[in-house]
């Protein structure tokens, strides 16, 4: 199944996705959808993809932050963002809780808002309760960049985009981000 990523303005991105039942999760159709979403995420490339982003209003997202994506990022930035590789996994019908109250601000992009980025405040640590691809309940404790990815994808499943949470004055094209923002402290960028 060949999937296309829909862009901002498509009404499906603003829907609250429907939960999946255990029997649906264990169906051949959902297994095939997960594999197709995984391929679509790799091809993009991205670190997460929600079903809404491929036009399906389902509480399902795939996530993987591959080590190869870190090669172009400075070691200092990886540390600052608490970014480590995250193996491929699926979250279904997720609910998250912010832990500790710490907020962090970093640039985020989105496959459904292609060509742009902005600073988005997010909880530094979260706990996510969801089902995996076998309809088994799991709890994920995440911090740093992984927590950001989870929050971004769960926002999608609830009909929100990062542009709803961004600091509006930081919204930029990716070309301008590379020229003016890349490697600069967020505090300096916010002041500009």
Domain ranges of the chain: 11-191
Residue 190 confidence (pLDDT) = 85
The 8-class DSSP code of residue 180 comes to I
Q: Bridge partners of 90?
A: 62
Residue with tokens 């997960």: 34
Residue 185 confidence (pLDDT) = 87
Count of beta carbons in the 10 Å neighbourhood of residue 155: 19
Residue 187 confidence (pLDDT) = 87
The CA dihedral of 137, 141, 143, 147, to the nearest 10 degrees, is 20
Q: Bridge partners of 143?
A: 125
Distances (CA, A) of 37 to 1, 3, 40, 73: 9, 7, 5, 25
- Exactly one of 24, 68, 153, 179 is catalytic; name it: 153
Q: Homologous superfamily of 11-191 in CATH?
A: Peptide deformylase (3.90.45.10)
- Measured CA to CA, the distance from residue 110 to residue 113 in angstroms comes to 5
Spell out the per-residue pLDDT of the chain, length 192, in tens.
799 999 999 999 999 999 999 999 999 999 999 999 999 999 999 999 999 999 999 999 999 999 999 998 889 989 999 999 999 999 999 999 999 889 999 999 999 999 999 999 999 999 999 999 999 999 999 999 999 999 999 999 999 999 999 999 999 999 999 999 988 889 888 887
- Measured CA to CA, the distance from residue 35 to residue 138 in angstroms comes to 20
Q: Is the C-alpha dihedral spanning 25, 29, 32, 37 positive or negative?
A: negative
140 contacts 127 by C-beta, under 8 angstroms: yes
Q: Bridge partners of 115?
A: none
Distances (CA, A) of 20 to 37, 58, 87, 118: 16, 7, 23, 32
Q: Which of 24, 76, 71, 22 is nearest to 45 (CA)?
A: 71
- Measured CA to CA, the distance from residue 143 to residue 17 in angstroms comes to 25
- Residue 129 designated active-site: no
Residue 96 confidence (pLDDT) = 94
């Amino acid at each position: 199944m060949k999937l296309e990523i829909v862009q901002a303005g498509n009404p499906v991105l603003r829907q609250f996705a429907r939960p999946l039942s255990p029997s649906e999760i264990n169906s051949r159709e959902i297994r095939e959808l997960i594999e197709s979403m995984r391929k679509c995420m790799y091809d993009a490339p991205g670190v997460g993809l929600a079903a809404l982003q491929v036009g399906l209003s389902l509480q399902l997202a795939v996530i993987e932050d591959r080590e190869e994506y870190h090669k172009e990022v400075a070691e200092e930035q990886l540390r600052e963002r608490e970014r480590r590789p995250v193996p491929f996994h699926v979250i279904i019908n997720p609910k998250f809780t912010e832990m500790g109250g710490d907020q962090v601000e970093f640039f985020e992009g989105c496959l459904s808002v292609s060509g742009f980025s902005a600073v988005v405040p997010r909880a530094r640590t979260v706990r996510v309760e969801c089902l995996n691809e076998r309809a088994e309940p799991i709890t994920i404790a995440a911090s740093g960049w992984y927590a950001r990815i989870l929050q971004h994808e769960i926002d999608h499943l609830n009909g929100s985009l990062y542009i709803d949470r961004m600091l509006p004055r930081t919204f930029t094209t990716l070309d301008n981000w590379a020229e003016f923002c890349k490697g600069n402290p967020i505090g300096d960028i916010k002041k500009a």
